[in-house]
Homo-oligomer: A and B are copies of this chain.
Amino acid sequence: MSLSNAIERYLLQLLERARGGAVEIQRNALSEIFGCSPSQINYVLETRFTAARGFLVESRRGSSGFVRIVRLGAPRRVVELLDACVGDHIGQEESLHLIERLKTSGWLSAREAAMLAAAVRRECLAIPLPERDRLRARLIRAMVLSLARSDRDLVPGGEKDAL
């Protein structure tokens, strides 16, 4: 188990216990618990507690500074999520997190999520970067939005607002 994974699990535990879905930590104190450099904490926050995984991180410097990690509820609309997470290019790992999130929030079934996940794998796309990341973004947008349309066609009033 890597340091980053250990820190991630530790923070997830804190979030688990904390009522309200948010925790506040001190970067330096946490880094001492794990005997690592303070910037290691930033690395974990940047790679694990991202918007794509449904977290918001706020912080403040100076005396009595802090780092607050908030577990976000589902965003209002999928389009916003796409705009926020996908942009015009997106990497594989980020995509998989997004897909997982769309699944757990009920927007995608397990089968649909599996399809999407299979499609965005770099072994499947198999074209060189950076065009690969752009293609991946187009695919996710096209497929997810196609669901919105397909639902609208099937259910005339279907205003899915999960996410």
Question: When the two chains form the complex, which single residue of B117, B143, B151 contacts A146, counting CB atoms closer than 8 Å?
Answer: B117
Chain A residues at the B interface, C-beta cutoff of 8 Å: 1-3, 5, 63-64, 109-119, 121, 124-127, 131, 135, 138-139, 142-143, 145-147, 149-151, 153-154
CB neighbours (8 Å) of A121 from chain B are 142
Cα distance, A87 to B104, chains bound together (Å): 34
Q: Is B146 touching A135 in the complex (CB atoms < 8 A)?
A: no
Q: A2-B63, A5-B64, A64-B5 are in contact. Are A139 and B110 (CB under 8 A)?
A: no
Cα distance, A159 to B120, chains bound together (Å): 26
Cα distance, A121 to B150, chains bound together (Å): 16
What DSSP secondary structure best describes chain A's contact surface? helix
Q: Is B115 touching A147 in the complex (CB atoms < 8 A)?
A: yes
Q: A63-B2, A110-B150 are in contact. Are A118 and B135 (CB under 8 A)?
A: no
Chain B, residue nearest A150 (CB): B114
Chain B, residue nearest A121 (CB): B142
Interchain Cβ contacts under 8 Å between A and B, 8 examples = A2-B64, A109-B111, A110-B150, A111-B147, A115-B150, A119-B143, A121-B142, A125-B138
Q: A124-B138, A126-B135 are in contact. Are A154 and B118 (CB under 8 A)?
A: no
Chain B, residue nearest A1 (CB): B64
